[in-house]
Amino acid sequence: MQEDPKYIISGDSISRGVVYDEDRSKYVVLEENYVSLLQEKLRGAVRNTARFGNTLMKGITSLKKDILKDKPSIVLIEYGGNDCDFNWQAIAENPDAEHSPKTDFNLFEKMLTETIEYLRSQQITPILMNLPPLNADNYFKWVTGSNPDAESNVLKWLGSVTKIYWWQERYNSTIMKVAELTKTKMIDVRSAFLAHPDFTQYLCVDGIHPNKDGHRIICDKVLEFLKNHYEYLLLGGKQAQPS
């Protein structure tokens, strides 16, 4: 009899299920986040190690300890949203200085590739997830606190608000490039959001975290991916034949 599979979700606040609760004016963990919705449909146990604020560097350091302990068969890797982010307060205070993202663009690609190689060396199947699109206008307002002086300084450094979308898209493209080069399967949640004429309605007021309906979009995309590639992992799905 086949043993039930074990999964680890390694990621940031999106996989943690963090949303902004406008009524309470704070970030909270959504109970019906995409990971908890998936758990109801999957054979085996999901361990969600995603954390608010996680970059790839932080997350992978923890992941190596977790896989030695848990010995999962599949790891879903979801990073990039924090890696591509900047210290906006520092930019607002000094727009003429040099400012770097939390994870250098080339380092992000290198570390993602090495993580995939490491997981495979442990006989673990890696799966990548790309980034939901962001709402650049809302995100700009959010990181500047709608403060006119901060907006002016950040805009001076940025050049244009649309550059925020472009910069995040670069990291997203890197995830897709790494998937292709390493022949790693990837769940394309970005296209699932962009299939909607106004994808921004599926994001929180901060312009970057998917809201409750956004988590449903992610869950549906992951289920579609599993039906196409790993149907045997789904409850009620056809079982894989022993090799």
What are the pLDDT digits (tens) for 91-146? 999 999 999 999 999 999 999 999 999 999 999 999 999 999 999 999 999 999 98
DSSP bridge partners of 104: none
- The pLDDT-based confidence of 236 (bands split at 50, 70, 90) is confident
For the chain, which domains are there? 6-87+101-135+165-233 (3.40.50.1110)
Q: Which long-range contacts (CB under 8 A, 24 or more apart) does 106-111 make?
A: 108/56, 108/79, 108/80, 108/83, 108/84, 108/171, 108/174, 109/174, 109/177, 109/178, 111/56, 111/57, 111/60
41 close to 235: Cβ distance less than 8 angstroms: yes
Cα–Cα distance between 128 and 102 in angstroms, integer?
20
Distance CA 66, CA 172 (A): 25
User: What per-residue confidence (pLDDT) applies to 206?
Assistant: 97
pTM of this structure: 0.94
For residues 240 and 41, which has the higher predicted lDDT (pLDDT)? 41
- Cα distance between residue 212 and residue 17, in whole Å: 9
